[in-house]
Homo-oligomer: A and B are copies of this chain.
Amino acid sequence: MTTAEPSGPRAASRIRQSAREVLAERGYADLTVEAVAAKAGVGKSTIYRWWPNREALLADALAEIFKGDEIPDLGDTQAELRLAVDMTIDNYADADLAIAVPALAADLARSPELLASFRETFLLRKRDNIAVALRRGIDRGDLPAALDTGLVQDLWAGTILYRRLLSGSPLDDQLAERLVRLVFDASATLSS
């Protein structure tokens, strides 16, 4: 290759970075493949070689910065649940993610297929890893065997995202602590 246009994984990474920059500068509505191509210094066709549309590109660009790591086994259920809540807060405290995740989900809601692939790219790794930590709490006898781990995560992520986007209340230590204690207080109600 002697052309100036980059190719391969390095270019893909630069394109994802550019997508995040365009999002931050112009917002979701003005995020076009054209604008990302210009920012990354590549042709639109380079982008379409890897991603079928702007939604797929953006989902991929955001998945790269969305935290969903394994929760370490600390031998302490409460401490592990706090790590899980903090990770969720970190994700939605990030301005790009807080704005783009719901906008993208709203945009994809009209296409069940794209929405399913977005959930997989985006949410499943985090949710699976948090479920593993919740199940360790069950194994230790700290939480009921029938705990609905999906509902716990809907409560946590929902409250955090809603505060960030709609009610405007803070995502602080007090909130994190309450979201953890809630699960112990209402563990029977949160079980099936």
Contacts and interface: CB of A to CB of B under 8 A. Distances in A.
Interface of A: 27-29, 95, 98-103, 105-107, 109-110, 115, 119, 123, 127, 150-151, 153-155, 157-163, 165-169, 175, 178, 181-182, 185-186, 188-190
Contact of A158 (B28, B119, B159, B178): B159
A98 B189 CA distance: 26
A166 B162 contact: no
Nearest to A153: B167
Contacts of A167: 119, 123, 127, 150, 153-154, 157
Copy tally for this chain in the complex stands at: 2
Task: Please report whether the interface of chain A is mostly helix, strand, loop or mixed according to DSSP.
Answer: helix
A166 B155 contact: no
Contacts of A189: 178, 181-182, 185
Given A119-B167, A151-B169, A182-B190, 9 more contacts: A29-B29, A98-B106, A102-B103, A106-B106, A150-B169, A154-B167, A158-B158, A158-B159, A158-B160
Given A178-B151, A178-B189, A182-B186, A166 B29 contact: no
Contacts of A101: 166
B109 A99 contact: yes
A100 to B, nearest CB: 7
B154 A155 contact: no
